[in-house]
Amino acid sequence: MAQDDGGPASPGLNEDLKITDVAVPTASPQPSPSANTQPPTEPSPATLGAEEEDDDDPPPPPKPAPKLCGVCNTQPGKYKCPRPGCAMPYCSIPCHKSHKENHPPDPPPPPPPTSQPPSQTNTTPSQPNDPYKILLDHAHVFQGLIKKYPSLPSALDAIQSQTLPPPPSTTPSFLQGNNTRKRKEPPWSKDVGLRKGANALKKARTDPSDTGDGVREFCDAVLYLLSLDGDKDGPGKDKGGPRPLAERAVKEVGEEVRREERRVLEGLLREEEGV
């Protein structure tokens, strides 16, 4: 086969062409419109206003600079003195030690409030020469009598009740007319109460039952203990105090009771003899 002059040689018919070696431009796939795709929304006026307000807020004030150490005056103070009324800042342990050594002493604590002495009007003066103290010191004696005579407390209460003023009467006055005419008793007074108490004591001591025995032993114990207390003071003791008066009163009551007992015994003896 003849070739054209001056022209490039063309491939022969027997040569194979490789289609894969030729780059064929391909079109990029276009995204298909979707039903869920929404157009971009514009910011609302409220959002724009909030952003503008945020932009208009002033910046926060800067934090105050820490106080310098009160000892070295170079480093910022990290701690404070724990003593009350000081609170000086310091930066390190050496500065704290230096401040502690040069710290003025703490003020003295306030004195505790002094208790006022009790007023003399509200307190009863002490009685060093109490005539009945010896009875309290020998309370075991009377406790033994109460165990021996169980009816003794009620008998003593009955005697004491005679020394007290009578309770107010609940009977109407117009019903008391006949009774008041029959018995005219003097108005109650301290002397009247003592006289009634002495009579009740006489009656209780002459009781022949166990209750009378308990009352008699009780009176004997009181007289004996008071006599012991009088012997401690000696013969030169002043006789005008409250204790001698109480002793004399007890002795007088005891003598009167003994006389009454003697009269009762004499009357009983005369009745037995038929006199």
Residue 242 lies in a domain: yes
Q: Which domain holds residue 226?
A: 133-165+188-273
How long is the chain? 275
When mean pLDDT is compared across 101-110, 145-154, 191-200, the lowest value belongs to 101-110
CA quadruple 153, 159, 164, 170: dihedral sign:
positive
Tally Cβ neighbours within 10 Å of residue 161: 14
Q: Is the pLDDT of residue 84 over 50?
A: yes
Q: Is the pLDDT of residue 41 over 70?
A: no
- Taking the CA atoms of residue 123, residue 125, residue 131 and residue 136 in that order, the dihedral angle to the nearest 10 degrees is 40
Q: What is the mean pLDDT of the chain?
A: 68
Q: Is the pLDDT of residue 119 over 80?
A: no
Residue 144 lies in a domain: yes
How many domains does the chain fold into? 2
Contacts of residue 169, defined as CB under 8 A and 6 or more positions apart, other chains included, come to: 176
Give the mean pLDDT of 179-203. Answer: 76
- At 212 the pLDDT is 87
Considering the domain architecture, whether residues 77 and 150 belong to the same structural domain is answered as no
Considering the domain architecture, whether residues 193 and 77 belong to the same structural domain is answered as no
Residue 156 lies in a domain: yes
Considering the domain architecture, whether residues 70 and 161 belong to the same structural domain is answered as no
- At 175 the pLDDT is 61
Residue 265 lies in a domain: yes
Choosing from 103, 120, 151, the residue where a domain stops is 103
Q: Residue 141: what are its φ and ψ, rounded to 5°?
A: -65, -45
Residue 30 lies in a domain: no
Residue type, 195: R
- At 55 the pLDDT is 54
- At 27 the pLDDT is 52
pTM: 0.38
Percent of the chain with pLDDT over 90: 1
Residue 80 lies in a domain: yes
Considering the domain architecture, whether residues 266 and 137 belong to the same structural domain is answered as yes
